[in-house]
């Protein structure tokens, strides 16, 4: 969902780095105790006129140590695109997803009419979020959010999420004993954070409760509404796999930027089946998750919408690829060789620092291959007559003597 930390941490291929993800330096600040933190919640709840029930809930909050260790766990090796997709677009996802398309045929068709999101996309999000409800998470959402809210790194974000949850409880939108989810506070079939639940969730089965945990109708309807509200374009696809010509002119195309589809056609880009790109006024962005030697994609508006749901480009690619596979559309070529990324977090930090020293601005070194790093690497490659794909491959590391 909007703030899916697990996916963010697993993916080094971030299109946009949320300010939330960047932990402020708090080395010299003492962390307040959980009890002090609860006092703070108490004061805010009283100020906002919450009932005794909510104050009691606050009194009963307990920290979950595991949440903090999960939150701090930044693996040294992030997953490559191939590793990411192989895990999330498995045969199980495809076969079970097709079953879900049949099971919910009428509902999904109604949702498409009302919200403009085609069935395979809703089912694809469902598959990626919780494997169709199999992994909804069993942590106490109240305690998970309280734990993260009392940790100084992103206290303000998680405190707001916690209070959105109080709001939903106070207004009897959700049942307090249902509040289970991931360690980061995402809940139900579609892993909604409380703010998303508050803003976008819909009582699809009209029983006067929003039950995104047990009611598949509520969960799928809420997802369709959410996607529609954040800008999903009716009738448009997410993007497609493409083939770049061997002489592709990387200097003419920046990354994380859109160009008319016709410009890519003129540059010799074809569909993955080596056919001409469709003639359309669509704007498209070139995405090379593994550099010029890997899969190439042109992505459209709905890809950006998917990234509003989850900031990872690998996630957004996986949603599109699974959606295509669910309806038997020409899928993405084999990702069977799930090679790891050719760099570690530490190596990437060294590369970023070195590029910064040389005047190629890659932002504060964080070990993550994000838009700033792509831009800096591309500029370095152009200046050094390397293939300017923005990808930190061996050639780049060698040229930088790292
Ligand atoms: Ca309901």
DSSP at 286 = E
What's the CA gap between 351 and 346, in Å, rounded? 9
pLDDT at 25 exceeding the cut of 50: no
* Chosen domain end from 232, 260, 287: 232
Q: How many angstroms is it from 171 CA to the middle of ligand 1? A: 15
pLDDT of residue 30: 65
CA dihedral (324, 330, 336, 341) in degrees, to 10, reads: -70
Give the dihedral sign, CA 353/355/358/364: negative
What's the CA gap between 302 and 120, in Å, rounded? 13
Do 202 and 252 lie in one domain? The reply is: no
Do 255 and 287 lie in one domain? The reply is: yes
63 lies in some domain: yes
pLDDT band at 1 (very low <50, low <70, confident <90, very high): low
339 lies in some domain: no
* Chosen domain end from 171, 201, 232: 232
Asked if residues 11 and 131 have their Cβ atoms less than 8 Å apart, the reply is: no
* Chosen domain end from 232, 250, 267: 232
| CA–CA–CA angle 148, 152, 157 (5° rounding) | 60
pLDDT at 29 exceeding the cut of 80: no
Do 106 and 247 lie in one domain? The reply is: no
pLDDT at 336 exceeding the cut of 70: no
Asked if residues 160 and 2 have their Cβ atoms less than 8 Å apart, the reply is: no
pLDDT of residue 13: 55
Give the CB-side neighbour count of residue 401, counting CA atoms within 13 A: 1
335 lies in some domain: no
What's the CA gap between 277 and 240, in Å, rounded? 10
| Residue 96's CATH number | 1.10.8.350
pLDDT of residue 15: 40
pLDDT band at 355 (very low <50, low <70, confident <90, very high): very high
pLDDT at 17 exceeding the cut of 50: no
User: Buried (b) or exposed (e) across 310-328, using 16+ Cβ within 10 A?
Assistant: bbbbbbbbbbbbbbbbbbe
95 lies in some domain: yes
* Cα→Cα distances 50→160, 198, 400, Å: 14, 16, 58
- Location of structure tokens 């040389």: 358
Q: How many angstroms is it from 134 CA to the middle of ligand 1? A: 20
Q: How many angstroms is it from 209 CA to the middle of ligand 1? A: 4
Do 316 and 352 lie in one domain? The reply is: no
3-state secondary structure of 108: helix
Do 255 and 299 lie in one domain? The reply is: yes
What's the CA gap between 320 and 238, in Å, rounded? 6
| CA–CA–CA angle 133, 181, 195 (5° rounding) | 105
Residues in the chain: 402
Most confident of 79-88, 122-131, 334-343: 122-131
208 lies in some domain: yes
26 lies in some domain: no
Q: How many angstroms is it from 121 CA to the middle of ligand 1? A: 22
Do 243 and 227 lie in one domain? The reply is: no
Do 46 and 98 lie in one domain? The reply is: yes
pLDDT at 157 exceeding the cut of 70: yes
Q: How many angstroms is it from 312 CA to the middle of ligand 1? A: 30
Do 155 and 113 lie in one domain? The reply is: yes
Q: How many angstroms is it from 163 CA to the middle of ligand 1? A: 22
As a whole number of Å, the CA-based R_g of the chain is 22
Asked if residues 155 and 124 have their Cβ atoms less than 8 Å apart, the reply is: no
Q: How many angstroms is it from 168 CA to the middle of ligand 1? A: 14
pLDDT of residue 335: 64
Do 289 and 359 lie in one domain? The reply is: no
The predicted model scores a pTM of 0.90
Which residues are registered as beta bridge partners of 57? none
Span 250-265, mean pLDDT? 96
Q: How many angstroms is it from 11 CA to the middle of ligand 1? A: 34
Asked if residues 61 and 33 have their Cβ atoms less than 8 Å apart, the reply is: no
Domain region containing 206 = 1-21+31-232
DSSP at 298 = E
Percent with pLDDT over 90 in the chain: 81
Q: How many angstroms is it from 169 CA to the middle of ligand 1? A: 15
pLDDT of residue 22: 41
Alpha helices by DSSP H, 267-366: 301-309, 313-326, 345-357
Which range, of 59-63, 192-196, 277-281, averages the lowest pLDDT? Answer: 277-281
pLDDT digits (tens, 9 = 90+) for 120-141: 999 999 999 999 999 999 999 9
Q: Which residue has the higher pLDDT, 365 or 330?
A: 365
pLDDT at 83 exceeding the cut of 60: yes
Q: Which residue has the higher pLDDT, 338 or 254?
A: 254
Do 101 and 192 lie in one domain? The reply is: yes
Span 335-346, mean pLDDT? 76
Q: How many angstroms is it from 213 CA to the middle of ligand 1? A: 10
Q: How many angstroms is it from 117 CA to the middle of ligand 1? A: 20
pLDDT band at 304 (very low <50, low <70, confident <90, very high): very high
Span 349-368, mean pLDDT? 96
Q: In the chain, how many domains are there?
A: 3
Asked if residues 31 and 334 have their Cβ atoms less than 8 Å apart, the reply is: no
Span 30-35, mean pLDDT? 82
pLDDT band at 339 (very low <50, low <70, confident <90, very high): confident
Do 278 and 180 lie in one domain? The reply is: no
105 lies in some domain: yes
Q: How many angstroms is it from 175 CA to the middle of ligand 1? A: 11
Do 145 and 249 lie in one domain? The reply is: no
135 lies in some domain: yes
Q: How many angstroms is it from 394 CA to the middle of ligand 1? A: 53
Q: Which residue has the higher pLDDT, 343 or 50?
A: 50
């Amino acid at each position: 969902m909007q703030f899916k930390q697990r996916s963010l941490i697993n993916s080094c291929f971030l299109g946009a780095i949320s300010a939330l993800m960047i932990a402020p330096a708090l080395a010299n600040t003492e962390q307040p105790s959980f009890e002090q933190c609860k006092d703070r919640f108490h004061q805010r709840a009283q100020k906002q006129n919450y009932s005794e029930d909510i104050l009691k809930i606050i009194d009963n909050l307990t920290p979950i140590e595991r949440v903090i260790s999960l939150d701090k766990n930044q693996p040294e090796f992030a997953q490559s695109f191939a590793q990411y997709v192989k895990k999330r677009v498995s045969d199980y996802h495809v076969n079970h997803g097709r079953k879900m398309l049949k099971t919910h045929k009428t509902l999904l068709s109604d949702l498409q009419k009302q919200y403009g999101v085609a069935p395979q996309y809703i089912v694809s999000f469902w598959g990626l979020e919780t494997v169709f409800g199999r992994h909804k998470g069993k942590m106490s959402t109240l305690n998970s959010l309280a734990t993260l809210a009392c940790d100084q790194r992103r206290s303000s974000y998680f405190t707001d999420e916690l209070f959105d949850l109080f709001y939903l409880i106070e207004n009897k939108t959700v049942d307090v004993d249902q509040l289970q989810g991931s360690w980061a506070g995402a809940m139900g079939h579609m892993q909604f954070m409380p703010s998303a639940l508050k803003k976008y969730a819909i009582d699809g089965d009209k029983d006067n409760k929003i039950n995104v945990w047990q009611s598949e109708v509520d969960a799928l309807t809420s997802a369709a509404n959410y996607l529609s509200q954040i800008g999903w374009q009716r009738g448009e696809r997410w993007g497609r796999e493409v083939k770049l010509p061997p002489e592709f002119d990387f200097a003419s195309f920046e990354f994380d930027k859109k160009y008319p589809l016709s410009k890519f056609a003129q540059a010799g880009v074809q569909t993955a089946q080596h056919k001409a790109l469709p003639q359309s006024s669509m704007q498209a962005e070139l995405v090379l998750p593994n550099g010029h030697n890997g899969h190439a994609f042109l992505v459209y508006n709905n890809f950006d919408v998917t990234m509003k749901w989850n900031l990872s480009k690998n996630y957004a690619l996986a949603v599109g690829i699974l959606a295509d596979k669910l309806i038997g559309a020409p899928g993405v070529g084999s990702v069977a060789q799930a090679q790891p990324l050719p760099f570690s977090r530490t190596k990437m930090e060294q590369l970023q620092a070195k590029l910064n020293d040389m005047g190629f601005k890659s932002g504060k070194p964080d070990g993550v291959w994000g838009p700033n790093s792509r831009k800096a690497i591309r500029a370095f490659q152009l200046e050094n007559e390397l293939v300017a794909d923005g990808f930190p491959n061996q050639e780049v590391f060698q040229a930088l003597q790292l």
